[in-house]
Amino acid sequence: MSDKPVHLEDRTSEGARLFSPTAARNCGPIADIIAPQIKPGQCVLEIASGTGQQAMAIIDKALDIYWQPSDPDAASRASVKTYIEAAPLRLLDPLNIDVTQPNWWAALPRTYDHMFCANMIHIAPAAALHGLAKGAGELLPPGGNIWLYGPFLFGDDSAQSNLTFNDRLKQRDPAWGVRELDFVKPIFANAGLDCDRVTAMPANNHIICLKKP
């Protein structure tokens, strides 16, 4: 990981637990969409868990699933760990996964039915998107989904707020940027995943469901 910030918002903390105001707003709507799609007993690998708020919201709504959080940022992993007591055995110990590392998927402790990644691909170089897609192609079983949540561009139909956010990101780092959905889809297609569903979410965000046939 570089020494660049891992988020661009004012977070607060209580002990190791970090609080993201954005995640507080989006975790409920995300859980409403994702939780019903996970079958009892299934395990989801989350990439870039951040504070852990979204993981907790989803497993609070799907009481019979397992959740494997991960983040390359140690403070984020420490924050996620503060939730383990609230969901013992179902919320697994967070892993240190950086999807730009070669073959990052090769040494994981178990298999996963689905994957989830929120707000990472715009605040990381495109190599992270490529690594995420490659890993999803390697890890997911037939019928497995990876859900991407966050802002996306839709060509001429892009939301102005996302175009403005894109400019702000690029000022920070020219390798960052809100991704065009038409840029993202072929990268996953090359890894063997089809775009199954695009769901509009509050504040011009979307959930993109990519499925292994």
Ligand X SMILES: C[S@@+](CC[C@H](N)C(=O)[O-])C[C@H]1O[C@@H](n2cnc3c(N)ncnc32)[C@H](O)[C@@H]1O
CB of 9 to ligand X, least distance (A): 8
CB of 186 to ligand X, least distance (A): 20
Encoded tokens for 91: 């919320």
Encoded tokens for 98: 């950086």
Q: Which is nearer to ligand X, 21 or 141 (CB)?
A: 21
Q: Which is nearer to ligand X, 20 or 68 (CB)?
A: 20
- Concatenating the DSSP letter of every residue in 136-166 gives HHHHPPTT-EEEEEEE-B-GGG--HHHHHHH
- Name the residue with the smallest CB distance to ligand X: 50
Q: Which is nearer to ligand X, 131 or 144 (CB)?
A: 131
Q: Which is nearer to ligand X, 41 or 98 (CB)?
A: 98
d(CA 118, CA 148): 6
Alpha-carbon distances of 11 from 31, 32, 159, 210, rounded to whole Å:
21, 24, 25, 30
CB of 51 to ligand X, least distance (A): 6
Interface residues with ligand X (CB under 6 A) are: 6-7, 20, 23, 47-50, 54, 71-73, 76, 97-100, 118-120, 123-124, 128
CB of 111 to ligand X, least distance (A): 20
d(CA 185, CA 93): 31
